[in-house]
Amino acid sequence: MNEFGELKKVNIREVWNTEDMHFTPWLAKNIEKLGEVLGIELELIEKEAEVGDFSLDILAKDIGRNKNVIIENQFGNTDHKHLGQLLTYAAGYDAGAIIWIAEELREEHRRTIDWLNESVNEEIEFYGVVIEILKIDNSKPAYNFKLVAFPNKWSKSTYKSSTISSKAESYRSFFQLLIDTLRTKYKFTEASKGQPQSWYSFTSGVKGILYSASFALGSRVRAEIYIDKGDKDVNEKIFDELFQQKEYIENKFGQHFEWEKLEDKRACRVAIYRQGNIDCDEDLKNEILTWCIENLLKIKEVFILDQKIKSILK
């Protein structure tokens, strides 16, 4: 007969004594753990970010959509005060996602989040997340993010498909397949939702360094590593150091890159291209999909898994 341990819920303050001094700093350092639950690749921008006379707990970025994400944490039950703060912060940073984390999400607030997801611009997503600490008998404590209020992705996808152009829907379908393949087959990403846009970016694990696949101008498809640390001088310094390793990088990759300093922009990129566009037939579209997957995996191998090159990016 099998014997099972007893699963117990533990007082959250046994792990984090306070929300502001203990839980929020932990979450800021482990932001990707929350993203895994939501199916979003999150990158920290700032902790205690200012909004007028107020400050929000965590400002992050949804890498896939390049949208700001507001995260407000609360020990105990949710309350109206924090709901108002969330909406204030969301307006202040033009957020694409608003995440409310608490020990207990009151039913009226869960219904409010559901209503917001149904009523507000479909590009803005609202999430309610319960944080809990669990043990089995006398085991080490384990955290658990329990998603209790979230966008209805099926209905939103249907709504978007009926209102966006056929070309935008083609982009969404292509990148949905790209994301799903990279996530399930290669563990490349935790993202789960394609968007009606001509590009999609993935976190590399190094802040300010992204992998991207996109349909570029001139009927070309691009796979790239994108450098944006938030400062043009820093970005160009990294780019120049990478360029000094051009021969090493291209020999390891097995192909020449286009080295684009993007003088008129803050960011820089190192990219590889091929011909193609979203309006091609299905056979060519599948060929492009395979090309994107193969080259994103190779870019990761050359720039991130190679410690010599990764050290330049940090």
The pLDDT value recorded for residue 62 is 95
Task: Indicate the average pLDDT of the chain.
Answer: 92
pLDDT at residue number 52: 83
Q: Are 168 and 176 in contact (CB under 8 A)?
A: no
Is the CB of residue 192 less than 8 Å from the CB of residue 178?
no
pLDDT class of 193 with cuts at 50, 70, 90: confident
Nearest to 190 by CA among 179, 178, 199: 179
The DSSP 8-state label assigned to residue 202 in this structure reads: E
Strand 142-149, strand 268-275: pairing? unpaired
Q: How confident is the model at residue 154 (pLDDT cuts 50, 70, 90)?
A: very low
Q: What is the mean pLDDT of residues 22-31?
A: 96
- Which pLDDT tens digit goes with each residue over 34-69? 999 998 999 999 999 988 888 999 999 999 999 999
Report whether 30 contacts 161 (CB < 8 A): no
* Residues 6 or more apart whose Cβ sits within 8 Å of residue 261: 236, 239, 268
Mean local confidence (pLDDT), 201-228: 95
Say how many C-beta atoms besides its own lie within 10 A of residue 152's C-beta: 12
| Distance in angstroms (rounded) separating the CA atoms of residues 202 and 179 | 9
| pLDDT tens digit sequence for 100-141 | 999 999 999 999 999 999 888 878 999 999 999 999 998 999
Q: For residue range 245-293, list pLDDT tens digits in order.
A: 999 999 999 999 999 999 889 999 999 999 999 999 999 999 999 999 9
Average pLDDT, stretch 170-185?
95
pLDDT at 54: 85
Residue scoring higher pLDDT (122 or 296)? 296
Q: Where are the beta strands (DSSP E) in 154-219?
A: 199-203, 209-216
pLDDT at 53: 81
pLDDT at 34: 96
CA 147 – CA 303 distance, rounded (Å): 34
To the nearest 10 degrees (0 to 180), the angle between helices 246-253 and 282-303 is 130
Give Cα separations from 219 to 171, 211, 214, 265, 279 (angstroms). Answer: 14, 20, 11, 22, 10
pLDDT at 155 over 60: no
pLDDT given for residue 164 in this prediction: 67
Q: Which domains does the chain have, with CATH numbers?
A: 7-152 (3.40.1350.10), 164-313 (3.30.1460)
Q: How confident is the model at residue 3 (pLDDT cuts 50, 70, 90)?
A: confident
134 token code pair: 């669990």
pLDDT band at 303 (very low <50, low <70, confident <90, very high): very high
Average pLDDT over residues 217-222: 95
Candidates 274, 294, 269, 296; CA nearest to 284 is: 274
Q: Do residues 102 and 88 make contact, with C-beta atoms less than 8 angstroms apart?
A: no
Q: What is the pLDDT of residue 1?
A: 54
Closest CA to 195 of 214, 168, 215, 220: 168
pLDDT at 157: 45
What per-residue confidence (pLDDT) applies to 153? 60
pLDDT at 238: 97
H/E stretch holding 161 reads helix 153-163
Dihedral, 62, 64, 66, 72 alpha carbons, nearest 10? -10
- Contact 105/149 with Cβ under 8 angstroms? yes
**In the predicted model, is pLDDT for residue 162 greater than 90?**
no
